[in-house]
Amino acid sequence: MNIETDYDESIRTLIVKMHGLNRLSILEGWKDQFLQTLSGYSDHEEKISLMIDTRYHEFESYQCLVLLRQLFTSEILQYPCIDRKVFVQPGRYRLPEVKNDYEAYFSSPEEALQWLMCFKQRFA
């Protein structure tokens, strides 16, 4: 699978990295696993952040983008355990850097993690 999911305990962040070619069938299976993972965090008192790193990926089709956009913009709202989303994307595909306190876009994971750490420290 070309999708890795890891958790950074120090900043309470679920990190998703996509690389290589991602097919729709793989993304559909991964999405179900990912939502199950989020369900596990819903019982925790402390909220978590989500970092999605898509700098080194390719998608098989436009339907892959539709699936991910729906997941990260609407379906994820059903999980109140998430306090922030940060996306790491190549500059040419990136939206404005900080959209609001909940969502931001960066070109490197280091910038994204630094932004998340600032919020975690501010609200600790």
pLDDT score recorded for residue 74: 83
What pLDDT, on a 0 to 100 scale, did the predictor assign at position 105?
82
Tell me which long-range contacts 80-83 makes (C-beta under 8 A, separation of at least 24): 80/42, 80/47, 81/38, 81/41, 81/42, 81/44, 81/47, 81/48, 82/38, 82/47, 82/48, 82/49, 82/50, 83/47, 83/48, 83/49, 83/119
Q: Which domain holds residue 76?
A: 3-122
Q: Which CATH number belongs to the domain containing residue 38 in this structure?
A: 3.30.750.24
pLDDT tens digit at each of 124 positions of the chain: 689 999 999 889 999 998 888 899 999 999 999 999 998 888 777 889 999 888 777 888 889 888 988 998 888 888 888 888 888 876 666 566 766 677 788 888 888 888 888 876 665 5
The reported pLDDT for the residue numbered 32 is: 93
**Number of domains present in the structure of the chain:** 1
Task: Give pTM, 2 decimals.
Answer: 0.76
